[in-house]
Amino acid sequence: MTEHTAEAGKGTGAGYMSGFGNEFATEALPGALPEGQNSPQRAPYGLYAEQLSGSPFTAPKATNLRTWFYRIRPSVLHTGAMADVDLPLFRSAPTVGESSLPLNPLRWDPTPLSDGAATFVTGMRTITTGGDVGTHVGYAIHTYGITRSMEDDYFYNADGEFLVVPEQGGLRFHTEMGIVAIRPGEIAIMPRGVKFRVVLDGCETARGYVCENYGAPLTLPERGPIGANGLANPRDFLAPVAAWEDKDGTDCTVTVKWCGRFQQCHLKHSPLDTVAWHGNYTPCKYDLDRFAPVGAILVDHPDPSIFTVLTSPTSEPGTANVDFVIFPPRWLVAENTFRPPWYHMNVMSEFMGLIHGVYDAKPEGFVPGGMSLHNCLIPHGPDHDAFNGASWKELGPEKLGNTMAFMFETRLPQHLTRYASDLPTRQERYFDCWRGLERNFDPDRRDWTKD
């Protein structure tokens, strides 16, 4: 196999171009991009011109997404005779009614790797879903455990985009638009319809989380009064430069996910054959350490939406199909304030994972690679130890250093799969972490102090 890659623009780092949703243009061969038009009578080098639409043709400018490929073969030759493939643990919404677990907060230790060889696709394990894949509303939340690279097998998802959050092990996504390499602490977005394969990058196994978003493509949240800068800044997102694989004569497969079905075909060439492309519909990556958090500087703290990295909006303002929120390292300085998250009931549903370190509301039992589910209007909050520690602590400036938790928060209830309900890693006694919370109320004593 031969790999051919374009050079990155100056100052963007090897193999990437900087910006979120920019109109990028990149070519791995000089002159492969047509000048001044998209579809010349004969494209350069004998390439085929092809458009991939990530939005309806007529979507407003702000949400119109498409990319033009100049490729060795058109995509219609990358999907031969399709036949069903069974991936029983890689599920789609709806999964309503599969779980009979009690309506309590739920928490799990890390999902175990599968016994056999598992790729990014065959090692996908669906935990919750919401909405309906057949109507492009909702999402599925998965964990992945990888023990084998995808060498000659390729995948694309017609149902949604993948937001990939590694927890262990580096991944290299070889895509139609170039190569995106991520390590724990970084995230990647693989748009709906983009073909790719995933290679283990400097590791034997890899583990992490995926949000498969069926709704509007993830975008940066509005900042409102915060202004023009801060949170996730657009320039920190990186899109790949063009690269293609030349594998003619090699046995390859392409697997497609479509309305929850999987089908596969066999080819004698790689579908990653784009020599040049331009457009704003691209894979990208982002380093979570670049997030510029904004928070309380006198009392209380804002709602956790202040830490939103990306959002999939709906037609109802402020009501996301799914938000990706992080809890990054930050300074805590608020005076006379209970600094962990308060107790709450939330109409949105919260799935949380931990990439590394410790989460301040749950100092014990929530480990990297683990997950928790605080579903629609299921009450929760800091555990007994966190409450007591934070209530009596001498307050001064404090750095929360070793931490990177995240949340997939969605307007739709999260329905557990049977697989997730039956996982032996579920902590059956999770609810006990609140049991020790005492009644402290005393009507004769307004100032609550330790005796």
Question: Which one of the spans 39-47, 54-62, 205-213, 347-355 is the region binding Fe ion (CB under 5 A)?
Answer: 347-355
Site for Fe ion in 415-434 (CB under 5 A): none
**In whole angstroms, how close is the CB of 106 to Fe ion at the nearest point?**
13
**In whole angstroms, how close is the CB of 348 to Fe ion at the nearest point?**
9
Phi, psi (degrees; rounded to nearest 5) at 208: 180, -165
**In whole angstroms, how close is the CB of 346 to Fe ion at the nearest point?**
6
**In whole angstroms, how close is the CB of 341 to Fe ion at the nearest point?**
6
User: Tokens representing 449?
Assistant: 């102090």
Strands (E), 303-431: 308-312, 322-327, 330-332, 349-357, 371-374, 398-400, 403-410, 415-416
CA distances from 10 to 7, 29, 275, 298, 414 (A): 9, 17, 20, 42, 44
Q: Nearest to residue 102, comparing CAs of 343, 378, 434? A: 378
Q: Give the residue with the Cβ less far from Fe ion, 45 or 342.
A: 342
Residue 38 has, within 13 A of its CA and on its CB side, a CA count of: 10
For residue 273, state whether it binds Fe ion (rule: CB under 5 A).
no
Question: Which one of the spans 55-63, 184-192, 256-264, 371-379 is the region binding Fe ion (CB under 5 A)?
Answer: 371-379
Give the containing element (helix H, strand E) for 109.
none
Given 136, 301, 356, 384, the catalytic residue = 301
Question: Which one of the spans 90-98, 105-113, 368-376, 421-429 is the region binding Fe ion (CB under 5 A)?
Answer: 368-376
CA distances from 119 to 144, 145, 429 (A): 9, 8, 32
Question: Which one of the spans 62-70, 176-184, 329-337, 372-380 is the region binding Fe ion (CB under 5 A)?
Answer: 372-380
Q: Cα–Cα–Cα angle for 251, 257, 262, nearest 5°? A: 70
Q: Nearest to residue 281, comparing CAs of 50, 2, 447? A: 50
Q: Give the residue with the Cβ less far from Fe ion, 236 or 350.
A: 350
**In whole angstroms, how close is the CB of 350 to Fe ion at the nearest point?**
5
Q: Give the residue with the Cβ less far from Fe ion, 104 or 250.
A: 104
Chain Cα centroid distance, residue 244? 25
Q: Give the residue with the Cβ less far from Fe ion, 81 or 347.
A: 347
* Secondary-structure breakdown of the chain: helix, strand, coil percentages, each rounded to the nearest 5: 10, 40, 50
**In whole angstroms, how close is the CB of 404 to Fe ion at the nearest point?**
17
Site for Fe ion in 374-393 (CB under 5 A): 374
Question: Which one of the spans 9-17, 46-54, 155-163, 366-374 is the region binding Fe ion (CB under 5 A)?
Answer: 366-374
Segment 287-292 long-range contacts (CB within 8 Å, at least 24 positions apart): 287/185, 287/186, 287/236, 288/185, 288/186, 288/187, 288/326, 288/328, 288/355, 288/404, 289/185, 289/328, 290/232, 290/233, 290/236, 291/231, 291/232, 291/326, 291/328, 292/229, 292/230, 292/231, 292/232, 292/233
Residue 438, C-beta contacts closer than 8 angstroms, at least 6 positions apart: none
**In whole angstroms, how close is the CB of 291 to Fe ion at the nearest point?**
19
Q: Give the residue with the Cβ less far from Fe ion, 78 or 374.
A: 374
Q: Is 301 a catalytic residue?
A: yes
Q: Give the residue with the Cβ less far from Fe ion, 265 or 400.
A: 400
Q: Give the residue with the Cβ less far from Fe ion, 51 or 319.
A: 319
**In whole angstroms, how close is the CB of 403 to Fe ion at the nearest point?**
16
Residue 338, C-beta contacts closer than 8 angstroms, at least 6 positions apart: 390, 391
Q: Which of 350, 360, 383, 409 binds Fe ion (CB under 5 A)?
A: 350
Give the containing element (helix H, strand E) for 299.
none
Q: Give the residue with the Cβ less far from Fe ion, 196 or 359.
A: 359
Question: Which one of the spans 23-31, 115-123, 148-156, 367-375 is the region binding Fe ion (CB under 5 A)?
Answer: 367-375
**In whole angstroms, how close is the CB of 430 to Fe ion at the nearest point?**
14
Tokens 């380093």 map to which residue? 287
Contact 65, 217 (CB under 8 A): yes
Q: Give the residue with the Cβ less far from Fe ion, 155 or 387.
A: 387
Contact 137, 102 (CB under 8 A): no
Q: Which residues bind Fe ion (CB under 5 A)?
A: 350, 374
Supply the residues annotated as catalytic. 301
